[in-house]
């Protein structure tokens, strides 16, 4: 009887594990192996040792893509979380048609990022400049996506527009865990408005804040669809995210080996950021 159970579990686990290894672990290992070669994606290749990694750190384009991706991720995370928290507070207060509003505000999240990107691309290219010239704002008369200095801002808006929907829902479920009597007790001690939020509400929803931070940073660091739809990395390579650069130069640019090295570094960066975030939020929760 006991053996039957053991055998069944083993028969379940081994094939599924094999599937996982085959399409996750093996490609991962192959990626690491390619990173030590000068493979172009076709034909023969040679071992080049750490050459790709050394080149990576002196490559201006790669450096620029890391700077851009982190700038985008940090600003988007802040914008998304501040807006989502405000929205969640409003959606959790005594309002009418609550479920309608919640449903409507979640809508951006279910739409595909690529198509959303195309719609906003049109908005930034035609609508915004037309609006600007109508009300006479000189600086916005040309598309913000065609200026290397401001294109990232357009991408940030689109990333935030979708992510806010997700984060708001998570904050709402956090706010619902705060019992009403906490506010009543706080109210007696004079905690209202900002004070109430800072000392009562926010500390109680920190776990949800952590979830949102982890979700946001990870998703924004891997940004791809929005870049594809809005700028394709331009203008002047100012909006190339790491994923986009790996895709673009690795798949069709003949840099298979070199971009594999980039991908390995990117993987290590993602792991470090995630572990750091988890450690940090773990500490914060303990303090309470």
Contacts of 7 (CB under 8 A, 6+ apart): none
Q: Interface with other proteins by CB under 8 A: which range of 45-53, 54-62, 74-82, 264-272?
A: 264-272
Q: Judged by CB under 8 A, does residue 114 bind other proteins?
A: yes
Please report, for residues 1, 69, 102, 252, 257, the alpha-carbon distance to residue 65 in angstroms, rounded to integers and kept in the order given: 58, 6, 36, 18, 18
Binding mask 227-246 for other proteins (x = CB under 8 A): -xx------------xx--x
- In angstroms, what is the minimal distance from the CB of 288 to other proteins? 18
Tokens representing residue 282 in the block: 């773990």
Of the pair 47, 149, the CB lying nearest other proteins is at: 47
Q: Interface with other proteins by CB under 8 A: which range of 47-55, 74-82, 125-133, 145-153?
A: 125-133
Q: Judged by CB under 8 A, does residue 276 bind other proteins?
A: no
List the one residue out of 233, 247, 265 whose CA is nearest residue 59.
265
Chain position carrying tokens 């908005």: 123
- Contacts with other proteins by CB under 8 A: the residue count is 90
Q: Interface with other proteins by CB under 8 A: which range of 58-66, 72-80, 104-112, 145-153?
A: 104-112
Of the pair 4, 138, the CB lying nearest other proteins is at: 4
List the one residue out of 49, 52, 29 whose CA is nearest residue 40.
52
- In angstroms, what is the minimal distance from the CB of 197 to other proteins? 12
Tokens representing residue 207 in the block: 């776990």
Please report, for residues 76, 162, 270, the alpha-carbon distance to residue 82 in angstroms, rounded to integers and kept in the order given: 10, 14, 23
Q: Interface with other proteins by CB under 8 A: which range of 47-55, 72-80, 247-255, 279-287?
A: 247-255
List the one residue out of 146, 148, 113 whose CA is nearest residue 129.
146
- In angstroms, what is the minimal distance from the CB of 93 to other proteins? 4
């Amino acid at each position: 009887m006991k053996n039957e159970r053991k055998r069944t579990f083993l028969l379940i686990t081994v094939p599924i594990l094999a599937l996982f290894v085959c399409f996750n672990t093996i490609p991962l290992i192959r990626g690491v192996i390619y990173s030590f070669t000068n493979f172009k994606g076709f034909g023969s290749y040679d071992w080049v040792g750490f050459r790709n990694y050394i080149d990576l750190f002196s490559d201006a384009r790669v450096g620029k893509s890391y700077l851009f991706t982190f700038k985008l991720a940090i600003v988007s995370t802040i914008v998304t979380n501040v807006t989502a928290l405000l929205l969640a507070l409003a959606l959790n207060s005594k309002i009418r048609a609550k479920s309608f509003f919640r449903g409507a505000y979640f809508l951006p999240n279910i739409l595909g990022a690529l198509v959303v990107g195309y719609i906003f691309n049109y908005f930034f290219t035609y609508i915004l400049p037309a609006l600007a010239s109508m009300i006479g704002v000189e600086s916005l008369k040309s598309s913000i996506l065609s200026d290397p200095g401001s294109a990232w801002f357009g991408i940030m808006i689109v990333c935030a527009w979708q992510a806010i929907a997700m984060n708001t829902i998570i904050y709402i479920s956090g706010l619902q865990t705060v019992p009403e009597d906490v506010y009543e007790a706080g109210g007696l001690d004079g905690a209202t408005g900002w004070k109430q939020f800072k000392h009562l509400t926010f500390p109680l929803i920190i776990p949800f804040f952590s979830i949102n931070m982890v979700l946001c940073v990870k998703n924004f660091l891997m940004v791809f669809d929005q870049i594809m739809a809005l700028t394709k990395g331009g203008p002047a390579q100012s909006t190339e995210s790491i994923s986009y650069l790996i895709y673009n130069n690795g798949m069709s640019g003949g840099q298979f080996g070199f971009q594999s090295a980039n991908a390995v570094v990117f993987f290590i960066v993602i792991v470090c950021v995630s572990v750091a975030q988890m450690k940090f939020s773990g500490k914060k929760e303990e303090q309470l």
